[in-house]
Amino acid sequence: LVNGSSSTLDPLAPELLMDLHVKYIQALDTKKNDLEYWLTEHLRVNGIYWGITALQILGHPEALDQEQIVEYLVKCQHENGGFGGHIDHDTHILSTLSAVQVLITYDRLDAINVDKVVDYVVSLQNEDGSFSGDSWGETDTRFIFCAINCLSLLKRLDDKRLDLPKTIDYIVRCRNFDGGFGSSPGGESHAAQVYVCVGTLTILNALHHIDADQLGWWLSERQLKNGGLNGRPEKLEDVCYSWWVLSSLSMMRRVHWIDAPKLTLFILEAQDTETGGIADRPGNLPDVFHTNFGIAGLSLLGYPGLVAVDPVYCMPRHVIQRIGLDKH
Ligand SMILES: COc1ccc(S(=O)(=O)N2Cc3cc(C#N)ccc3N(Cc3cncn3C)C[C@H]2Cc2ccccc2)cc1
Ligand SMILES: [Zn+2]
């Protein structure tokens, strides 16, 4: 009952409309007459990572043209080694990580200059151990995770230019009295920041800096009566927190501290049964971001028929195993 899909509790419960979600993702790149398609141009590379990863977990890697996607991503790499959100957009650590994640998922790192990617990421590290998102210098624990995650995927954490002990110190400075983490020292605890800080410490084998019972309790407190999870106390439930909270609990071996059947039901009720796709909560419009993190969350909950996902990298577990990172 704990890990089964919701139908073990309630025969009328919705099920995951897998084929409809595959069609929703395939249709994303065809809406070229929608204003939204062009407004989200800056998100294109991130959107490809969200779409590809959802298709991988659904077991349909063939649903998009991999060669065409690789050719597009190659065009997004700048001479500084970073990737922009779209061709000729400024480079950013978020789109650089997304591009690397897709290329590794496709086993096509041969298509890009990996050494230049490493140079770009290393160039974003600051004196205090944090990382900036781009050359404008804005720092956020999210960017530290993107940098460490990317270097780990490229097997380049041993780069002599890095000061990893300082990065760990910076993350620890972002820990709050409630056991959670914020986007910078003194920042309020937020589930997405907990994920990026627990993920960074997991990759750097420094989880001993975390009080797993205290943080596990704060995370389990994110679950509301409707089964959904919020990001902070008093906030509304949102499907993407299924990923930020569950993956953090999974890294701390405490996924069972959440009511899995009730969360499963919440995610399934956020599906759009007409168009496919998953919204941030039931009744809202779906988007590729929440579709990916809803499906990834269901995979962590053991929903039947889904490919296993790695809680640290949010990539298929078999891909992480292929590159030998499944030691944690
Ligand atoms: C719809 O208004 C927005 C607002 C912001 C953004 S964003 O800054 O690019 N970004 C990615 C994102 C993508 C989509 C999709 N498709 C939808 C939302 C969303 N959010 C906003 C969000 C999600 N849950 C509640 N909120 C308000 C997260 C945000 C930050 C983020 C970026 C990368 C990785 C993780 C998180 C995009 C659209
Ligand atoms: Zn959300």
| pLDDT tens digit sequence for 209-226 | 999 999 999 999 999 999
* Among 93, 289, 293, residue to substitute to test ligand 1 (most atoms within 8 Å of Cβ): 289
pLDDT score for 148: 98
Q: How far is the CA of 110 from the centre of ligand 1 (A)?
A: 30
Ligand 1 centroid to residue 211 C-alpha, Å: 29
Name residues whose C-beta falls within 8 Å of residue 48's C-beta, 6 or more positions apart in sequence. Answer: 69, 72, 73, 98, 102
Average pLDDT over residues 64-79: 97
What tens digit of pLDDT does each residue of 260-295 get?
Answer: 999 999 999 999 999 999 999 999 999 999 999 999
Q: Is the CB of 288 under 6 A from ligand 1?
A: yes
- Ligand 1 center–CA 49 separation, angstroms: 13
Give the span between the Cα atoms of 82 and 84, in whole angstroms.
7
Residues 11-52: tens digit of each pLDDT: 677 999 999 999 999 999 888 888 888 888 889 999 999 999
140 close to ligand 1 (CB < 6 Angstrom): no
Model confidence at 328, in pLDDT bands (50, 70, 90)? Answer: low
Give pLDDT, residue 13: 78
Cα gap 258→269, rounded to integer Å = 18
DSSP state of 110: G
Instruction: Record the pTM.
Output: 0.95
Q: ipTM score of the complex?
A: 0.98
Rounded to whole angstroms, what are the CA distances from 217 to 85, 97, 180, 236? 36, 30, 10, 18
Helical ranges in the chain per DSSP H: 18-27, 35-39, 44-58, 66-75, 93-105, 114-122, 141-153, 164-173, 191-203, 212-220, 240-251, 260-269, 288-300, 317-322
Residue 269 Cα to ligand 2 midpoint, Å, equals 15
Q: Is the CB of 239 under 6 A from ligand 1?
A: no
Ligand 1 close to Cβ of residue 43 (< 6 A): yes
94 within ligand 1 shell (Cβ under 6 A):
yes
Ligand 1 atom 14: residue of nearest CA: 289
Contacts of residue 270, defined as CB under 8 A and 6 or more positions apart, other chains included, come to 239, 278, 279, 280, 281, 282, 284, 286, 290, 294
Ligand positioned closest to the Cα atom of 280: 2
Atom 1 in ligand 1: residue holding the nearest Cα = 287
What 3-state DSSP class applies to 29? helix
290, 239 in Cβ contact below 8 A? Answer: yes
Residue 7 has pLDDT above 60, yes or no: no
What's the confidence (pLDDT) of residue 276? 97
